[in-house]
């Protein structure tokens, strides 16, 4: 049972465009939603995270939009740069449980 679904599996955008990566979840008790990125040959690292007390979280060019009613959240990367090319994983965590459930990832390629 996949509790966090991620789409698309791969995405190609041109430099300067906004990349949109999507995730959905099933468990309504999830209350923390981070995005990790992973560059080729490296380990995952936290990019940005949101708690559902708000429906938007911004950090520079990166924005999470959260829709609690539809159980969906998305990562928008504005003004995409070739250096943003990586695999992006969304995840979710339930309350005081330290376990993260990851999506399968979106491989983003930014072409110049």
Partner 1 sequence: EAAVTQSPRSKVAVTGGKVTLSCHQTNNHDYMYWYRQDTGHGLRLIHYSYVADSTEKGDIPDGYKASRPSQENFSLILELASLSQTAVYFCASSDWLGGLSYEQYFGPGTRLTVL
Binding residue (CB under 8 A) for partner 1 from 44, 61, 71, 76? 44
Contact status: 22 vs partner 1 (CB under 8 A): no
* C-alpha to C-alpha distance for 24 and 40, rounded to whole angstroms: 25
Contact status: 43 vs partner 1 (CB under 8 A): yes
What's phi and psi for 74, nearest 5 deg?
-140, 155
Binding residue (CB under 8 A) for partner 1 from 21, 62, 77, 93? 93
Asked if residue 79 lies in contact with residue 23, where contact means CB atoms within 8 angstroms, the answer is no
Binding residue (CB under 8 A) for partner 1 from 11, 64, 103, 110? 103
Contact status: 101 vs partner 1 (CB under 8 A): yes
Find the helix or strand (DSSP H, E) in which 69 lies.
none
Looking at the DSSP assignment, which residues form a beta bridge with residue 18? none
What's phi and psi for 100, nearest 5 deg?
-105, 140
Binding site for partner 1 (CB under 8 A): 6, 34, 42-46, 49, 89, 93, 96, 98-105
């Amino acid at each position: 049972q996949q509790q966090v679904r991620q789409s698309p599996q791969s995405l190609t955008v041109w430099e300067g465009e906004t990349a949109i990566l999507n995730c959905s979840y099933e468990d309504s008790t999830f209350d923390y939603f981070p995005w990790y990125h992973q560059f080729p040959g490296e380990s995952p690292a936290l990019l940005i995270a949101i708690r559902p007390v708000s429906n938007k979280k911004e950090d520079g060019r990166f924005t999470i939009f959260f829709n609690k009613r539809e159980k969906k959240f998305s990562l928008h990367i504005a003004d995409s740069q070739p250096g943003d090319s990586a695999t992006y994983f969304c995840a979710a965590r339930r309350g005081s449980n330290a376990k993260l459930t990851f999506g399968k990832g979106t491989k983003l390629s930014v072409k110049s």
